[in-house]
Structure formats: structure tokens, C-alpha cells
Structure 1
Amino acid sequence: MDKKLLIVDDEAHIRMLIEQTLEDLEDEGVELLFAENGEEALNIIQKKKPNLVFLDVMMPKMNGMEVCQKVKKELHLDEVYIILLTAKGQEVDRQKGLDMGANKYMTKPFDPDEMLSIAEGILKN
């Protein structure tokens, strides 16, 4: 399948939780990539062009909204599917994320089964 999935969160335990949720995808040939801040995420996105990015909003150096805006509006990497992850579920935040170019928005704590089925749906296309 040769797909790449990037997990971006400044909290190591959240990255690990998401990795555990999605590790079955590795059996299907999906490479899991990790970043702990926005700058690192942007570098990986530019170099590796992951198919899917789970992107935390609240992070140091560059937040998820900024990363998303750069990827979609400046680099025009429309093929990179970005799902913003945030503890803030307010509609105004959701709308701002979508305006920045995010494809989807998920609120923490997320449902692991939902996350896996979304990832599978996107990566099988």
C-alpha cells in the first residue's frame, strides 16, 4: 500500500495513544511518522508528503492551525489529508480550522475506533 501517516502532538503519551490506536495499519504497509511540534511536522510534511496527518492544535513553535495553513494555502499540498485534534470543541474553533484548510476536526478525548476507521477510510483511497 505504501502510505504514510504523520502523528503530531507535543505530548508523548498522546502520540503513543494514537500510535497504539493505529498500529494495525502498519500491518497493511502504512508507515507511521511522528513529530512533537509544528516546525518538525512541517519539515516532515514537505519531505515525506504523508497521505494523512493527525495534527494537534495547541503546540509550541508553531501551532496546528499555522501548520495547516502553510501546508494547504502556501505549499498547496492538497493531497495531504489533515485532521486537527483539539481539546477545544467550540464551533468557532472548528470553523477556523476548516478555514485554514483542515479536512476534518476531531475533539479530544477521541474515540480510538472512530479514529482508526477514519484513517482506514482515507488511506484506502
Structure 2
Amino acid sequence: MPRFAGKTHTAGHIFFYEEMVVIGAIFGTIFSVFYPFFQFYKWIGNSPVWETVYIILGQLFLCLYGFFAGIFVGCLALAIAEMLNSIPIFARRTKFRHGIGVVILFMALGKSVGSFIYFLKQLFVCGGM
């Protein structure tokens, strides 16, 4: 967060950024855990007018969500690139001379195996074992 605030020259708003991240995490958790309570179409009814409104609002929400999800993925890619840039610095400070490539390779393999297990066992369906 501080790095992005520094890049955009908005360091005075860093507490606002951090508060928005926390609020987003809280609302995301509430909406994903208590999702039956946020199915508003069941409260109002299934009239054709409300169905059209929900379709339009759903498309607008998906556009907005896609925009912010893209920003998140971009930030995540930058964070991973930043971590990879810090590995040679760490190796230099700890006098770790040989095998940096092997360490990076095994980090990537660990991520790949973890993703493979995640999708093979379909952990995304139930959220756990």
C-alpha cells in the first residue's frame, strides 16, 4: 500500500486506502458467508420489471467488478515481480551464492503443485477439504 501511494503521490491518503481495504475485506466476507440474506430478488418478488432491473444492475456490477479485479491482478503481478527482485538482494546479504535459480524454480514448482491440487480436488467448490 505505501508503495502505491508513493507512486501516485497520494501519501496523505494512505490511511483512507488502508481503511478501504479493510472495509472491502469485511463486506466481502459478510457477502460470501451470509449470501442467502443478500438475495434481494427473493425479498421483492419475481416480476418482469424487477427481473430487467436485476439484469441491468448485474451487468453494471460485473463491469465494475471486472475493472477492480483487473486492478487487483495487476497489483498482484507487480507484488510477485517485486518479490522476485528481492531474492537476489536476500541472497547477497546472506552470502547465498549458488543455487538461486534452483530456489526460484522450487518456489514456482510449489506454487504450481498447490494450484494443481487446488483444482484437481476442486477445493474452490467447498472452500476446503
Q: Is TM (by shorter chain) over 0.5?
A: no
* TM-score, length-scaled by structure 1: 0.22
Higher CA-based Rg: 2
By relative contact order (CA 8 Å, sep 6+), the higher-ranking structure is 1
* TM-score, length-scaled by structure 2: 0.21
